[in-house]
Amino acid sequence: MSIPVYDWLESYAQSNGEKTAVVDLASDRSFSWARFNERTSKLAGYFRDHLQVQRGDRVGILMSNTTDVLEIQFACAKIGAVFLPLNWRLTVPELVFIVGDAEPVVLICGPSFQEAANEVAEKVASVREVILTDCNGGNSPYEQGIHSGDPVLTLTDLTHDDLSTIMYTSGTTGLPKGAMITHGMTFWNAINLGLPHRVSPDSVHLSVLPLFHTGGLNCYTNPVLHAGGCVYIMRDFDPRECLRLMCDPEIGLTHFFGVPANYQFMAQQPEFADADFSNIQTAGIGGAPVPVPLLEAWNKKGLGIAQGFGMTETSPTVLVLNAPDAMQKPGSTGKPALHNEVRIVDEAGQDVRPGEMGELWVKGPNVTPGYWNRPDATAETITDGWLHTGDASRMDEDGFYYIVDRTKDMYISGGENVYPAEVENILYQLEDIVEAAVVGFPDDKWGEVGVAVIVLSAGSELSAQEILVHCQANLATFKVPKRVEFIKALPRNATGKILKRTLREDLSEGPSI
């Protein structure tokens, strides 16, 4: 039997309508559940009656973080349309590819991206209209649409198998693919992530990651809204302001989620030394391997960071590590979430023993049915319901899983597998190293060797030789980088992930980047 989809906003508007649901920090707007639901219902009516958006049609958005994004997401759900969040850091040609693939009928954009949205619309025939919002509640076609719409009072008849969102992967290894996200996937993620991380009606979450990415939208934004809590939306990540908000007892934040770079930048602020995180119940981290020294720095402040693992294709939660275990099992991403199962397999697809390395596979109601318009990619990635994550992993004797690195980032030096994250953890033991990335580089003798790309703290005189000596004392010889390059800042995508492909390309252009 198919499970029906229920209207979260309508339910909380009826049961707890005056409670604050969402806060837009940049525009100083705050909406109660009743007002949030009213705006979203009228927006859905505007989509349906004025823009002729029908069930199954895609609605694209191109805007910075704002509560408007959440309104559009839930308005789409009310009429059975499909939410299409677009990465605003992409170039127009990259956006044209994605929009041409997903074929939305409407694009809604913020003021900074109006020119790009119009250019995309000119090149993609499916886009009938571009709607502008100023993202601040001012007089705009978006706000006019809300005011003119007749509210949608009854949710379209949907099930958990119906498509809710198409979220395109970052495309760091090739052309992006549209992961199909069902209503069921979003629901099961709210359970899988919410229960172990203590999400409740009393939760207050600060959302700083881009809402076009699953980390911003689903860790913990949607789970907190599913529970009837409150979400603060930050337009652009500001490490100093984040620290202030996390420590403000009047706001009373209970949840925060970020990628390692967010925590790294906050820990570098002078205010970090005196920060009081006693209000925070759960601080989650994901998106990339986490250096153990970073976990230790936050643990000394009394806040154990809860690690986990997930993907766009898994809605995203797969593995969860409760805060009490964060330092008991440093570097682990935890154990399987309640409503999914995992395996670690070798190249033949056979399960490996505890302690052995293999690729993590995932199966459950949180896993995508496939990629939009890409049956070939779906067939390559999913085997009998098992999603191949592409992540090199191992499980210890206690059942805790460790994501060692992306298999695509692994390189082979002299016949030995080298996982850059292991080397990076050793590099981060040196206090003067602010950021570090290790990539494999072609070598005539060894096939590939490691190159460490380093960002030093201001005023540091740490030398390449000192870095290599430290690595030699802590790593097997084949893992020690053969070269060190210094750089002002590592290239990252919108969610803070290091673009290692860009580093490799830059290294290939000359002896120094």
pLDDT at 173: 46
pLDDT at 176: 85
pLDDT less than 50: residues of the chain:
171-173, 512-513
Strand partners, 23: 30, 232
pLDDT at 513: 43
Give backbone dihedrals phi and psi of 61, rounded to 5 degrees, phi first.
-130, 145
pLDDT at 203: 98
pLDDT at 295: 87
Q: For 220-236, what is the HEC assignment?
A: CHHHHHHHCCEEEECCC
Cβ–Cβ < 8 Å for 291, 421:
no
pLDDT at 378: 95
Q: With residue 173 as reference, give the H or E element that holds it.
A: none
Q: In order of start, what are the domains of the chain with their CATH numbers?
A: 409-508 (3.30.300.30)
pTM recorded for the entire structure: 0.85
pLDDT at 512: 47
pLDDT at 495: 67
pLDDT at 413: 84
Taking only the tens place, the pLDDT of each residue in 364-391 is: 999 999 999 999 999 999 999 999 998 8
CA distances from 508 to 270, 312, 447, 477 (A): 37, 30, 15, 24
